[in-house]
Amino acid sequence: MKIRNVRIWLALCVALSSCQLHAKPKNVLFIICDDLNVHLSAAGYEAVSTPVLERFAKESVTFNRAYCQYPVCGPSRASLLSGLYPESTGVVSNTVDIRDTRPGTVSLPQRFKDSGYWTAGTGKIFHNTKMQPTEEAWDEHVMFQNDEHGLEVAARRAFEAEHGPISNRENRKSWKEFLSAYSKQTRGQTPPGYGPTDLEDGQHKDGKNVRQVAQWLSSKAYGDKPFFIGCGIQKPHVPFLAPQKYFDRFPLDAIEYDPVRGDDWSDIPKKAASHRYGAFGFEMGVENDTLRREYMQAYHACIEFIDTQLGIVFNSLKENGLWEDAIIVLTSDHGYHLGEHSMWGKVTLFEECARVPMMMRVPGMTPDGISSDALVEHVDFYPTLMELCDLDMALDLQGTSLVPLLKNPGGKGKEFAYTVVSRGKDLGRSIRTDRWRYAEWFDSRNAELYDLENDPLEYTNLAGNPEYATRLKSMGGLMAKAKRKAGSKR
């Protein structure tokens, strides 16, 4: 009897241990911002106050060296949401849909839906509505637009008084041109619009996005199922528009930056540059102090605006008793240049563009307020969430689960992070190790090598320096390894 009782006791212990092992929060809130770099006080950039994210960081693991796989919205999101590198997704521009290049690939939200989750998304998760897998990925998905702000109303009235309704088909093109020329706040993406609006927070699309998530949570729209909710935050993508109060926090004369260096591009391959700076009104190697301050003010105002909005989502989780039962992931599709190396926007392989904010909170697992310097990538999200939620891992995923780092943020990360970007029909490629960044523009003859320990702003390209020939060769070997790793498995 004693032996039998011991066996029963041991069996109960094993069962209890197994239950504890798998008693992980099943709900997932996935937040992805658009064009957000690391200009956050939560990431150490004190000029932009992000108190909501600071509080979140105190209960999360912050990955200080997280990298996207392609610094453009569409390819980046296709990579992140499939767990595959761009060479495998076949998506290397904003006009390509992974459903055409890789039919049958199961996206992250679809994987959750197929596994019995209630899935819902608001805002920009996939690149656009045409590339949004609706029925197969979402039980519910909504998109919002900003309400019409005062300057838009004035422009519309002025146009219609002369040309008739803007809804008339023959007026569409001329109305678009008229609106873009009316004021800087009524521009679209080219040239980028910027400036304050007279709208309230909840009249902007991101204000609507977070309130929609809060409504789903408070109404328990997910019913008896665990949920996967994607919250797409559109800002700080252009046009840089936010309510006036956020602009008031950034006096133009208080904005600081490192001025453009006239000789910066003397040792950098020309293909490394993106010419988007022209649309912003800048010239290569020439500083425009007034315009740079205005754009930085607007970009930073957008960041503080979205920080405030995210507080609504986090508070809703707490108010509805879900804070301790929800995995929360926050990142951006890629970084963003604000004049560094004369660059504006994205589409480069510099740190400002490839590096992204990344925070994760897993109740009962992640230690509070810990930062990790491990190298991690966007492709790692998919396998991480599969492991955290005890779901079957897809065989073709190319990322690596971050669960060991979530448990021990001081652990070792990847050997390198890999990022690519198109130039015509070719790809520029970059790898980032603990200390070095190496890039090839189509071949090793057009290379970049930076010592990020001594040159974090990447001002001195060492690729042509004979003293670094050995380092250059070793980084070239790693690049070959990265290419093999990222190649299609199909």
Q: Tell me: the pLDDT tens digits for 232-269?
A: 999 999 999 999 999 999 999 999 999 999 999 999 99
Given this model, what pLDDT does residue 7 score? Answer: 45
Given this model, what pLDDT does residue 15 score? Answer: 40
Mean pLDDT computed over 349-366: 97
Given this model, what pLDDT does residue 128 score? Answer: 83
Given this model, what pLDDT does residue 28 score? Answer: 98
Q: How far apart are CA 102 and CA 394, in angstroms?
A: 15
* Contact (CB, 8 A) for 362 and 56: no
**φ, ψ for residue 448, nearest 5 deg:** -130, 140
- The H-assigned helical ranges of 58-171 are 73-82, 86-89, 98-101, 108-114, 134-137, 150-163
pTM above 0.85, yes or no: yes
Mean pLDDT computed over 5-22: 41
Given this model, what pLDDT does residue 488 score? Answer: 61
**φ, ψ for residue 255, nearest 5 deg:** -75, 135
Cβ-based neighbour number of residue 162 at 10 Å: 8
Distances, alpha carbon 236 to alpha carbons 42, 188, 441, in Å: 16, 13, 29
On the question of pLDDT at 2 being above 60, the answer is no
Q: Residues 25-66: pLDDT tens digits?
A: 589 999 999 999 999 999 999 999 999 999 999 999 999 999
Q: Residues 411-432: pLDDT tens digits?
A: 999 999 999 999 999 999 999 9
Banded pLDDT at 5 (limits 50, 70, 90): very low
- What does the chain come to in residues? 490
Q: Where are the domains of the chain?
A: 24-147+199-407
Q: Residues 129-181: pLDDT tens digits?
A: 788 777 889 999 999 999 999 999 999 999 999 999 999 999 999 999 999 99
Identify the top-confidence range among 23-37, 120-134, 280-294. Answer: 280-294
Given this model, what pLDDT does residue 131 score? Answer: 80
Given this model, what pLDDT does residue 254 score? Answer: 97
Topology of domain 24-147+199-407, per CATH?
A: Alkaline Phosphatase, subunit A (3.40.720)
Parallel, antiparallel or unpaired: strands 140-142 and 194-197: unpaired
Give the Cα-Cα-Cα angle 379, 239, 122 (nearest 5 degrees).
50
Q: How far apart are CA 212 and CA 144, in angstroms?
A: 10
On the question of pLDDT at 10 being above 60, the answer is no
**φ, ψ for residue 282, nearest 5 deg:** -110, 165
Query: What average pLDDT is seen over the chain?
Result: 93
Mean pLDDT computed over 331-360: 98
What percent of the chain shows pLDDT beyond 90?
90
Residue 348, C-beta contacts closer than 8 angstroms, at least 6 positions apart: 71, 272, 273, 274, 337, 341, 354, 421
Banded pLDDT at 23 (limits 50, 70, 90): low
